[in-house]
Amino acid sequence: MLKIADLRLGFSVGERTLLAVDGVSFTISRGETFALLGESGCGKSATAQGILRLLPPAGRVAGGRVEFDGVDLLALPEAELRDYRGGRLAMIFQEPGTSLNPVLTVGRQIGEVLERHRGLRGDAARGQALALLRQVGIADPERRLDEYPFQLSGGMKQRVMIAIALAGEPELLIADEPTTALDVTVQAQILDLLAKLQVDRGMAMLLITHDLGVVARMARRIGVMYAGELVEVASREAFFSAPRHPYTQALFAALPEVSRRGAALATIPGQVPSLAAMPAGCRFAERCPQAMPVCRTQSPAWREVADGHVVRCHWQAPPATGEKAAIAAVDRSNPSEIPPQPLLAINALQVHFPIRKGILQRTVGQVRAVDGVSLAISPGRTLALVGESGCGKTTVGKALLQLIRPTAGSVRLAGHELVGADARRLRDARRLAQMVFQDPFASLNPRLRIGEIIGEGLTALAVGGKNAAGPRVAIAALLAQVGLPADAVDRFPHEFSGGQRQRIAIARALAVQPQLLVCDEPTSALDVSVQAQILNLLKTLQAELGVAYLFITHNFAVVEYLAHDIAVMYLGRIVEQGGAEEVLGRPRHPYTRALLSAVPVPRLDGGGQRIALAGETPSPAKPPGGCHFHPRCPKADARCREVYPAVVMSSATHAVACHHPD
């Protein structure tokens, strides 16, 4: 169906064109999923954008062919390409926050595709749009259809993007990190949906992702990309059983997992070379532990190591044995011991948003985003807050920092009450607690250079005194800590990839040396090698400085590796919390068990059997009576429908709110 031959794409800088994609070739058959892997900045997204000719203004097609059913898309005039783009070919973009039109409702944006490619208007278009929102797991779709993107959580925006892409019933779907912002249950639901559509429609898919669990579940063939070139192409079985390129092996070695708890993750030294300074030989040579003199002078040719398995490497060694490198370290933390004086204590926190309607905007209801949450985090410990998208995790993080004013409850940070505090006391609290936001592009000022963004907190809170050299030295050290080059100081956010922008956001949060860091999906936009660097950095800072983390995430591999304690959230309330070993090893709430079963694992066997939850997550504007989880719970009975369960302690640290705990 799709044949890409010697595709070369670049970006104009003055009179030069710097190649971001250099001679990439691959094919995708009807109904097949081809996964494209690689670090942030390797050219994966540029390849996807080049197929649909959606490159930014400075982008240039330097050569090659992109044939779709025998038609060269690069040779079509723009008017004819519109019949393909959004219809026969569709794309799910990496950053839904910047891909959705902020001044159009969700319904209008889905309706544009339905009208242009399927001829649907009026009630027919609205009915189809509702069906699409239900397909991608959005609760209360009638209300969401008339809302704007800013009213949706990050995961919901990603699901809207998927609905828009599916609206044209594409034959080829290009999915650029389609499940990055989604929790594991919705991710499993979306992957099931995409797999079903492939069977029903014969739809092909180009899947760009850094989640090897998703690759193991979805892909038939995998291509590994580095610095604008493909370096390995293999079938799913060969890729996971015998990766051959040193770069591919390094990606596997960087995966966080529970067996590495207390050990530093293997990382890849250095970074992807810049477009302006591509090496002459193998582009991975400077970072490769197997590099030989020939690697630095001569670009390797393709060689076939097995049927359908090709690799671009001078090093000819036997296949990897599956052993993953790790640096030994000692984990001195004891998850069962909770110090008596927590750094952060949240008690019965509530955040309700009014629903207003009519000309007079009268309040007709409340969205109970957070409905009585109690948590405690001690110095030097990590509490992971997990749950489905829209359950209130991010709202908890913002409310404890008073970025959103709580409706009720108490938040005590280092013994000081923040709820109701005046501006001066909150300013002092900003020195103690910082936040890494979910969407790095939306949280960075596009008009400021990176040095100004990171230095803003240093100046505002007078960190490091008034010495002018102090901030400059501190900024350079922070950039090095998060794996960015020193020249990033004078560049703007739009000049970086998604993963690099996330590292900038982390550097900004760390700049004021906080005691508590609220991390809202801090590694969701990062590939596994950079994720390993960030997790190692966070773990090192915690060991050296005693920094505490509230880690909001849906990545259970990260939770297993980093968290001391876990709190599971559902529809604004905590349903289970305890030590990481207790919650992960002996989950007692049916919802926790379903979450864990939905985690995709980077293995050929695919892990255990998934527990499919019935129905959809209810809307926080209309939560069910009794236990909020009862409409989806296989154990629900009459008592569950009438009475919210009390908290049951199964140990000194393990609590569950359920009438029928496992």
508-525: per-residue pLDDT in tens? 998 888 999 999 988 776
Residues whose CB is less than 8 angstroms from the CB of residue 178 and which lie 6 or more positions away in sequence, other chains included: 92, 158, 162, 190, 194, 207, 209
pLDDT tens readout for residues 574-596: 999 999 999 998 999 999 999 88
Q: The whole model's pTM is what?
A: 0.78
Main-chain phi, psi angles of 213, to 5 degrees = -65, -40
pLDDT computed for residue 324 by the predictor: 38
Burial of 34-68, coded b for 16+ CB within 10 Å and e otherwise, reads bbbbbbbbbbbbbbbbbbbbebeeebbebebebbb
Q: How confident is the model at residue 258 (pLDDT cuts 50, 70, 90)?
A: low
Task: List the one residue out of 235, 277, 364 whose CA is nearest residue 41.
Answer: 277
Q: How confident is the model at residue 470 (pLDDT cuts 50, 70, 90)?
A: low
Residue 465 is predicted with a pLDDT of: 53
* Rounded Cα–Cα distance for residues 369 and 43 (Å): 38
pLDDT for position 334: 43
pLDDT at 466 over 60: no
**Mean pLDDT confidence for 654-661:** 94
Q: What is the pLDDT of residues 266-280, one digit of tens each?
A: 888 877 888 888 998
The terminus-to-terminus CA distance of the chain in angstroms comes to 49
pLDDT at residue number 188? 82
Rg (CA), the chain: 25
Q: What is the pLDDT of residue 181?
A: 64
The per-residue pLDDT for 469 is 54
**Which of 3.40.50.1000, 3.40.50.300, 3.30.420.40, 3.10.450.50 would CATH assign to domain 2-219?**
3.40.50.300
Strand-strand pairing, 326-327 and 264-265 = antiparallel
Give the lowest-confidence range in 42-56, 185-199, 643-657. 185-199
User: Is domain 344-657 in CATH 3.40.50.300, yes or no?
Assistant: yes
The answer to whether residue 338 scores a pLDDT higher than 60 is no
> Could you give the strand order of the β-sheet that contains 416-417, starting from the edge strand earlier in sequence?
362-377, 344-357, 408-413, 416-417
**Mean pLDDT for the stretch of residues 14-43:** 91
Q: List, for residues 201-254, the tens digit of each pLDDT value.
A: 889 999 998 788 889 999 999 999 999 999 999 999 999 999 999 999 998 888
- Alpha carbon of 589 to those of 336, 372, 611, 622, 629: distances in Å? 19, 18, 13, 22, 10
Percentage of the chain beyond pLDDT 90 is: 54
Residue 608 is predicted with a pLDDT of 67
DSSP per-residue string spanning 140-208: SHHHHTTS-GGGS-HHHHHHHHHHHHHHT--SEEEEESTTTTS-HHHHHHHHHHHHHHHHHH--EEEEE
Nearest CA to 579 out of 490, 653, 488, 479 is that of: 653
133-162 pLDDT per residue, tens: 998 878 789 999 999 999 887 778 888 998
**pLDDT in the model for residue 121:** 94
- Above 80 in pLDDT, residue 101? yes
Alpha-carbon span 245 to 230, nearest angstrom = 11
State which of 188-202, 211-225, 529-543, 551-565 shows the largest mean pLDDT. 211-225
Amino acid 459: pLDDT: 83
The predicted pLDDT at position 328 comes to: 29
CB 568 within 8 A of CB 595: yes
CATH 3.40.50.300-classified regions of the chain: 2-219, 344-657
Report the mean per-residue pLDDT for the chain.
87
Instruction: Give yes or no for residue 456 having a pLDDT over 80.
Output: yes
DSSP conformation class of 605 = T
**What pLDDT does residue 318 have?**
65
Q: How far apart are CA 393 and CA 374, in angstroms?
A: 12
pLDDT digits (tens, 9 = 90+) for 396-424: 999 999 999 999 999 999 989 999 999 88
